[in-house]
Structure 1
Amino acid sequence: MKRKYSSVVLVLLSVLLILSGCAGESTSNNNSEGGSTTQINFMHWRGEDKAVLDGIIAEFEKANPDITVEMTIYPSDQYMATAQRMLQEGSTGDVFTSFPGAQFESLQKAGVFEDLSGEEFVSNFDENLITVGQKDGKQLALPYQLVFNMPIYNKGMFDELGLEVPKSWEEFQALCDTLLENGITPIAFPGADIGPNQFMNSMMMNNAPDEDIFAKLQSGEEKLTNEWWVKTLEDFQLLEQKGYIQKNALGTNQDSAMQMVASEEAAMLATGSYHMASLIGLNPDLQLDLLAPITVEESEAQYEGINTATFMLAVNSNSEKKEQAKKFIDFVSQPENAAKYANETGQHLTVKDVKYESEVLKNTAYWITDKTTRFQPRFLITNAQVEDAVLSSIEDVLGGAEPMDAAEAAQKIVDENRE
């Protein structure tokens, strides 16, 4: 009896496993009204936006009862490393996002972008802000966020200490010295996960004002051992040696660095505008704004800050549910839906006619119209190995290497991967 009972249980378990496996592979389900639904997958890296996107997805599903949306979210570094493989497999990411620069170039070469050029929803976006998603005359991806990749600073703290935004490298150092004298770490640097990915842009923007500098680097016309990059590494060395960034900066993760600013232990966060809403969430009393270190004399400065059109929405060319995926992009790019995303996540967007109600967004909107900003230089590096070499040279200096030694080591990698 025991053997017979055991055999029956095993058979039942096997049937259940087979049925559950079939259910997992199915893309159609029954909705409450008895119809069938198609599930699409939205793959991205913005875990901090999940709650807001859940709400927008609920509204989309209400408006499109025949479509359901599943989100898959990865940390940004993992997303950079594995997105292409997953998209080529076609198992996820009917709608996906791409970073500009090296990832966009790689995904374009892999053929995973569906051409969106003829879609009506493209007109929902500011045409001047979506060129980074174009290639060979085709609109392959649509940047959704307009981000300022430069440090966030505690404006209330600055006002209390009588500090003004510095306009030169000398003034920036004097500012940091004053903060240290008051027991405040000038810059919280999340070296363990974000690293110098964001901070490098404002640190080099006036050292190398030529916007083609990285194209010239990849062609061999420029070198990392030239003055523009060696000075940038020397500036990073100065930050570390003078204590302007916290001790063990390379071992500090994003959450810890944010907490330093939220608790007012640090005055600046070396990331970008996309973290402003999260900081306010940690400390609603914070008054925040943006500043970029000016690493040259005031008379030599050409740029005041950095901008990036990123979080580029795309449709997977390997998807069997492209029409449903396009409906989703159309929905999130409608001004009223985009406004919900913008105001609840603290993001400026590339979508036209968005009404900003968030105080953070209102207070920083002047960066769009009144400031001279430059597109993020890092995203103009189209070779991933070259990008890694550039970033690693900064980490090497922060770890104790001499700037020229770090530059020479990185240049060897650039030479090996010259286009």
Structure 2
Amino acid sequence: MTRTHRATKFLPILAAAALALSSCGGSSAGADPTDINPTGEIEAREISWLLSRPADGGVIKTMEQIADEYAKDHPGFSLNLITTPDRPSYIQKYETLAAANKLPELFDTDATPFAQKLAGQDRMVDVDLLLKDLGLNDEYREAALNYQRFDDGSLYMVPFEFQLEFFWFNKDIFKSAGVEAPKSLDDFPAMCKALKAKGVNPIALDGQDQWPLERYMSYYPFRKTGSEYVQKLKTGEAKFSDPEGKAAAEWLQSLGEAGCFQKGFSSTGYADAQALFTSGKAAVYNTGTWELSNLATETLDADVRKDVDYFTLPTIDGSATADNEYVTPSGIGMAVNAQTYDPLVRDFLAFALERYPELYASTGALSPTTGAKTTVPKKATKLYDRAIKQANDVGSNIAMPWDTQLDPATNTRLQQELTLLVQGDITADEFVITMDATLKENVGG
């Protein structure tokens, strides 16, 4: 479930794709994104889904099962999964196909400015209207749908997942260091110093993929203003030197000075960062419920398992967001191509979206809907069940991952500069100066 960074080498291609998209003028061959119930016969054929998900993951396996079931009653139907798990490669393919007006019937996308441009050109079916027409809109978790919405509140993507991101921690290590779970983000530096003094790594971090460190950059602004700051930042209406961005940079600098992350974190991969925590060599690990099978079942070593607990994103003094509002993503969404939408696509979606929640929840995962009960594994710990139940007490304001919001060029530079900031190679002041210049170059303002 990792989100790999958008590599710099792809930027010229993506820029060209965006330019081509603009120049094509949004030609949609008369497509109407609000015509969610087209008339005509259901004629079975192959439809395709361009997606960026693990090939062996629960989403793909569930949808493959559903497609097979649908094909039994619709001979000639098949679902062609065009899978590109590597995120930078996927974005390159997706935006290039969009620019050439060759997107398939279904395609994955985050709620990015690029996707919103497609929607504005009437090239994506209005999912709000579709779910209402199918009688499914009230089935979905509010937070799951909100994660997929554009800043104007419109909805053009269907969620297939729902996750909660926690700070997992080792109670025994905390006790030996004389610290408690932080109540405020401002408690992190002191917590790290106390843990480091005991000879343990305070926080295990996958620095190699870069997006986990970017999560930390998003936390302080979210607690100060909710999603408002990043919404303005990505369009150039806000700056990194604004109070929210400056506070975030100074907080990240303080984490680096306190030695919060393991030595050499920038070259530590996802599996190795997780291993630091699961082996008891790190006290804290920030990750999502997609890791429940590794952190809340008997898969975890017994010596560590008994001491594992979690806390949610702490607030700050005067926080604009509530305790139960934090990072609760519903993953990359699925958009429906308005140009190829016909009675078959609608009928398959009606069947799939009705069938999906129960099948997906049976894998032990959280469904994006409220009615499907997650099957908790027999070898799960009490934390597994607690985490599942916590999904029913999530606020509507979501801490959006910045790598799904910022333009690729700004995002890549941000990830690079964050590593330098936390390593102590640059100061918070130098960081915001560089990032303001980068933002101005890429989006203006």
TM-score by length of 2: 0.70
Counterpart in the other structure of 2:333: 312
Local SS of the residue matching 1:145: coil
* Superposition deviation, residue 404 in structure 1: 0.8
Unaligned runs of at least 5 residues, structure 2: 1-42
Please, which of 128, 143, 159 is the counterpart of residue 142 of structure 2? Answer: 128
> Would you say 1:189 and 2:209 are equivalent positions?
no
Instruction: Go from structure 1 to structure 2 and tell me whether the alpha carbon gap of 1:125 and 1:213 turns closer, same or farther (over 3 Å shift).
Output: same
> Would you say 1:404 and 2:429 are equivalent positions?
yes
Please, which of 50, 60, 77 is the counterpart of residue 53 of structure 1? Answer: 60
* Superposition deviation, residue 410 in structure 1: 0.7
Counterpart in the other structure of 1:249: 265
Q: Take 1:265 and 1:107, find their aligned partners in 2: how far apart are those partners?
A: 46
Q: Take 1:92 and 1:260, find their aligned partners in 2: how far apart are those partners?
A: 42
* Superposition deviation, residue 406 in structure 1: 1.2
Please, which of 221, 225, 229 is the counterpart of residue 204 of structure 1? Answer: 221
> Would you say 1:70 and 2:93 are equivalent positions?
no
Please, which of 341, 363, 371 is the counterpart of residue 353 of structure 1? Answer: 371
Q: Take 2:362 and 2:210, find their aligned partners in 1: how far apart are those partners?
A: 24
Instruction: Go from structure 1 to structure 2 and tell me whether the alpha carbon gap of 1:164 and 1:79 turns closer, same or farther (over 3 Å shift).
Output: farther
Instruction: Go from structure 1 to structure 2 and tell me whether the alpha carbon gap of 1:382 and 1:238 turns closer, same or farther (over 3 Å shift).
Output: closer
Question: 1:172-183 counterparts in 2 under 5 A?
Answer: 172-183=188-199
* Superposition deviation, residue 382 in structure 1: 5.8
* Superposition deviation, residue 91 in structure 1: 6.3
String of CA shifts for 1:343-373, please: whole Å, max 9, x gaps.
5253x33323111232655312454454657
Question: 1:247-326 counterparts in 2 under 5 A?
Answer: 247-279=263-295, 283=300, 286=305, 287-294=308-315, 296-297=316-317, 302-304=321-323, 305-319=326-340, 323-326=343-346
Counterpart in the other structure of 1:344: 363
> Would you say 1:230 and 2:243 are equivalent positions?
no
Question: 1:1-16 counterparts in 2 under 5 A?
Answer: none
Percent identity among equivalent residues? 16
* Superposition deviation, residue 254 in structure 1: 1.9
What is the root-mean-square deviation of aligned Cα atoms in Å?
3.7
Q: Letter of the aligned partner of 1:68 in structure 2?
A: S
* Superposition deviation, residue 408 in structure 1: 0.6
Determine if contact 1:105/1:382 at 8 Å carries over to the other structure.
no
Q: Letter of the aligned partner of 2:109 in structure 1?
A: S
Counterpart in the other structure of 1:11: none
Unaligned runs of at least 5 residues, structure 1: 1-35
Q: Take 1:372 and 1:138, find their aligned partners in 2: how far apart are those partners?
A: 19
> Would you say 1:98 and 2:109 are equivalent positions?
yes
363-372 or 307-316: which moved more?
363-372
> Number of aligned pairs?
378
Q: Take 1:62 and 1:219, find their aligned partners in 2: how far apart are those partners?
A: 44
* Superposition deviation, residue 56 in structure 1: 4.5
Q: Take 2:190 and 2:106, find their aligned partners in 1: how far apart are those partners?
A: 47
Q: Take 2:155 and 2:267, find their aligned partners in 1: how far apart are those partners?
A: 39
Determine if contact 2:208/2:266 at 8 Å carries over to the other structure.
yes
Q: Take 2:414 and 2:205, find their aligned partners in 1: how far apart are those partners?
A: 18
String of CA shifts for 1:5-42, please: whole Å, max 9, x gaps.
xxxxxxxxxxxxxxxxxxxxxxxxxxxxxxx9633333
Q: Take 1:155 and 1:96, find their aligned partners in 2: how far apart are those partners?
A: 43
Please, which of 327, 333, 340 is the counterpart of residue 353 of structure 2? Answer: 333
Instruction: Go from structure 1 to structure 2 and tell me whether the alpha carbon gap of 1:154 and 1:344 turns closer, same or farther (over 3 Å shift).
Output: farther
Determine if contact 2:170/2:309 at 8 Å carries over to the other structure.
yes
Please, which of 44, 51, 56 is the counterpart of residue 44 of structure 1? Answer: 51
TM-score by length of 1: 0.74
